[in-house]
Amino acid sequence: MTEHEHESKQNCKRKSRYNCSFSYFFDGAKTADVVITNGTARTQAYTDEKLHLPFGFVSDRNVTRRVIDEFYLRHCVPQYRANIKDFLDHYGLEEYDAFDICRITNGIMADNNYEIRWNDQV
């Protein structure tokens, strides 16, 4: 892959991570619908439990690209875990990218009961 192709692929990833929509679940119950457009999030909450909302105590007007990136990181395996290369190979990923991992795994982790259901995958 040329440097230009790699840069183009990275730009496409950045655009999709900041332009997507999903429903967020805790223990199988929908807690929120989220629409992210140009790095700005709009959340429709279905619970008063802030801990079960995608961005927690951060209000929509304060959701930055950094907050969005941290959300994706919370819902995927750590970058430096043992055997990360095997994990990436298993899912056909060339490199670690929290957004890509969340898209594949729906953000399901062994240590919590949250799930991301992407609207384009329903």
What radius of gyration, in Å, describes the C-alpha atoms of the chain? Answer: 15
pLDDT tens string, the chain, 122 residues long: the values are 555 444 544 544 555 889 999 999 999 999 999 999 998 899 999 999 999 999 988 877 788 899 999 999 999 999 999 999 999 999 999 999 999 999 999 999 988 899 999 998 64
Question: 46 with 52: CB under 8 angstroms?
Answer: no
Half-sphere exposure of 63 (CA within 13 A, CB side): 24
Spatial CB neighbours of 2, under 8 Å, sequence gap ≥ 6: none
Position 33 scores a pLDDT of 95
Instruction: Look at phi and psi of residue 39 and say left if phi exceeds 0, alpha if psi is from -120 to 50, else beta.
Output: left
Position 1 scores a pLDDT of 52
User: Any idea where the domains of the chain sit in the sequence?
Assistant: 3-121
Using CA atoms of 88, 94, 100, 102 in order, give the dihedral in degrees to the nearest 10: 10
Overall residue count recorded for the chain in this entry: 122
Global pTM value:
0.83
Position 104 scores a pLDDT of 93
**20: enclosing H helix or E strand:** strand 20-26
Position 115 scores a pLDDT of 96
Position 57 scores a pLDDT of 82
